[in-house]
Chains A and B, each alone.
Chain A
Amino acid sequence: MRKALLTVGACAVLLPLIGAVQRLQPDADRVYRPIAATGRIGQEVRTPPYTVRVDGVASGRELRVAGFLGKTSRQAAKGVWVVVGLTATATQEDVALGRVTLRAPDGRTFAATDRFTGLDTVTLRPGIPVSGQVAFELPAAAVKGAVLDISRPAYGDVFRPSGALGPAVEIELRLDGTAAPTVSMTEADT
C-alpha cells in the first residue's frame, strides 16, 4: 500500500515537472535564429562577412530624398519614416548587407523600403568602408524601442532561403517615438 502511494506521489510530482521542462525548451525559430553580434550607436559591430557601425538615426513624417543627378523628391509616409545612417566594410570578399530590418518591441519586423536604393543593396568591397543610409516606413506605434537587425549577407547570386545560424548584427537604436516634420536621405549609388 505504501509503495503504491509512493508511486502515485512520484508520478504526481514528475509529470508536471516534465511538462514544465518541455515548456522551457526553446522552439525551433529560437534555436535556429541567426547568431547576432550586438552593439550600440557609434560602435563598430563585427561579424565574419562585414563590420557595421550605426552613425546616426532620425525619424520624421515626411522623407526628403536626394536622388541621382541632384534630383530631389518628397515622400509622405502612411506611418513614420526612420532613416538609419550606417558605415559598413566587407572583411574578406565582396558582399552586400542582405536583409536589413527594424524589429519593434511588439515583435513586428519591418523591411527596408524598396522605394529608394539604400546601403542594404550596395556591394561592399573588402577593407573599403562605405557610408550610406537605409530608410524604413513603419507605423508610429512601432518606432519607440526599435532594434536594427542585419542578417543573411548576400554574396553575388548565392540564394539563401534562410538565415538559420548565420551571422547577424543587432543594434538598439534608442528611438523615443517622436518624429520630426521632415527627415532626409541620399540614395545609394549601386
Chain B
Amino acid sequence: MPRMRQRAWFWFAAIAAVILLPVAIAWPLGGLADAARAEPARYSLGQPIKGQRHHLVPRRAVFTTKDPSPAFGVPRKGRFVVLDLEVTNVSSLPSLVSQLSGTLAVGLDGRPAGPVLDQSVVRAGGRAGDVLNPGIPETVRLSWEVDEAPERMSVAVTDEVREPSWSLLGYASGTSLWYMGETPMGVLETPLERE
C-alpha cells in the first residue's frame, strides 16, 4: 500500500512538472504578458487600402462652404467636409455605400466627425446611387456638416469578414454574414484641402 501511494505521488509530481515547466520558462521571459496590439497601417491620399470586402483609394479630402449634395438643386448654406473615395467591391456579393460607411470612423482635428450628411455613389450624367456591385469601380462621396473649419482628417478603416452566423434562435443559424473586425486595418491621415 505505501508503495502504491509512493507511485501515485510520483505520477502526480511528473504530470505537474510537465504542466508547470513551460509556464516556469515563459513567465520570466514575459511570455504571459498581453501581446502588443499591432498598430494599424498609416495611409495618405492615393494609397490603396485593401480589405476583404472593399478596396478603397482615398482621392480627395476637402473643406468647403459649397453644399456638396444640394437637395432638389437648392444648395444649403454651411460648412462641409467632403471625402471622395474610389471603391471597388472585391467580394462576390453586392454591397451598399451605407454598409461601407459603417466601417469608417472619421475624425476631424482629433474629434469624431459626427453623423454623415450624405453618402452616395457619384456617377457622371446619372443619378447618385447606393449599390456597389462586385468588380465595378465606383466613386463614393461622403460629406459632413461642420461648425468650424477643420485642418486635418483621419479615417480609421475596419475590415469585414464573411463568416457563418450563430443564433440562439436557431433559424438560419450558420448562414454567412459580414462581420466587422475588432480593430482598424488602416488609418488615413490627411490635411484638408480648402475649396
Which listed residue, A29, A75, A138, A162, touches B135 by the CB 8 Å rule?
Answer: A138
Residues of chain B within 8 A (CB-CB) of A59 are none
Residues of chain A within 8 A (CB-CB) of B93 are 108-109
Q: With the chains together, A114 CA to B165 CA distance in Å?
A: 29
Please, which residue of chain A has its CB at the minimum distance from the CB of B88?
A: A78
The smallest beta-carbon distance between B86 and chain A, in angstroms, is 12
Residues of chain B within 8 A (CB-CB) of A142 are 135
Q: Is the CB of B126 within 8 A of A108?
A: no
Is A137 in the interface zone, CB < 8 Å from B? yes
Q: Is the CB of B173 within 8 A of A28?
A: yes
Please, which residue of chain A has its CB at the minimum distance from the CB of B129?
A: A114
The smallest beta-carbon distance between A163 and chain B, in angstroms, is 10
Q: Is the CB of B129 within 8 A of A115?
A: yes
> Chain B: interface residue count, which band?
20 to 34
The smallest beta-carbon distance between B13 and chain A, in angstroms, is 32
* Residue of A106, A115, A142, A162 with most partner-chain B CB within 10 A: A115
The smallest beta-carbon distance between A28 and chain B, in angstroms, is 3
Q: Is the CB of B134 within 8 A of A115?
A: no
Q: Is the CB of A79 within 8 A of B135?
A: yes
Residue pairs across A and B with CB atoms within 8 Å: the count is: 69
Q: In chain A, residues 99-145, which have Cβ atoms closer than 8 Å to a Cβ of chain B?
A: 101, 106-111, 113-116, 136-139, 142
Contact A115/B94 with A28-B174, A78-B136, A138-B133 known, Cβ cut-off 8 Å: no
Is B127 in the interface zone, CB < 8 Å from A? yes
Which listed residue, B125, B131, B172, touches A75 by the CB 8 Å rule?
Answer: B125
Q: Is the CB of A109 within 8 A of B127?
A: no
Q: Is the CB of B135 within 8 A of A28?
A: no
Which listed residue, B134, B137, B173, touches A110 by the CB 8 Å rule?
Answer: B134
Is B78 in the interface zone, CB < 8 Å from A? no
The smallest beta-carbon distance between A116 and chain B, in angstroms, is 8
Is A157 in the interface zone, CB < 8 Å from B? no
Please, which residue of chain A has its CB at the minimum distance from the CB of B95?
A: A111
Count A-side interface residues using an 8 Å CB cutoff: 28
Is A73 in the interface zone, CB < 8 Å from B? yes
Please, which residue of chain A has its CB at the minimum distance from the CB of B135?
A: A139
Q: With the chains together, A28 CA to B164 CA distance in Å?
A: 8
Please, which residue of chain B has its CB at the minimum distance from the CB of A107?
A: B92
Is B130 in the interface zone, CB < 8 Å from A? yes
Residues of chain B within 8 A (CB-CB) of A31 are 174
Is B175 in the interface zone, CB < 8 Å from A? yes
Contact A108/B92 with A113-B131, A115-B127 known, Cβ cut-off 8 Å: yes
Which listed residue, B125, B129, B130, touches A73 by the CB 8 Å rule?
Answer: B125
Q: Is the CB of B136 within 8 A of A109?
A: no
Given A115-B123, A115-B127, 18 new contacts (CB under 8 A): A28-B174, A32-B175, A73-B125, A75-B126, A78-B138, A79-B135, A79-B136, A101-B94, A106-B92, A110-B134, A111-B131, A113-B129, A114-B127, A115-B129, A137-B136, A142-B135, A162-B172, A162-B175
Spell out B's residues near A (CB within 8 Å).
92-94, 123, 125-127, 129-131, 133-138, 164-165, 171-176
Could you show 9 A-B contacts with beta carbons less than 8 Å apart? A27-B174, A75-B126, A79-B135, A109-B94, A110-B94, A111-B133, A114-B127, A114-B130, A139-B134
User: Lowest 4 A-B CB distances belong to which pairs?
Assistant: A28-B174, A111-B94, A114-B129, A139-B135
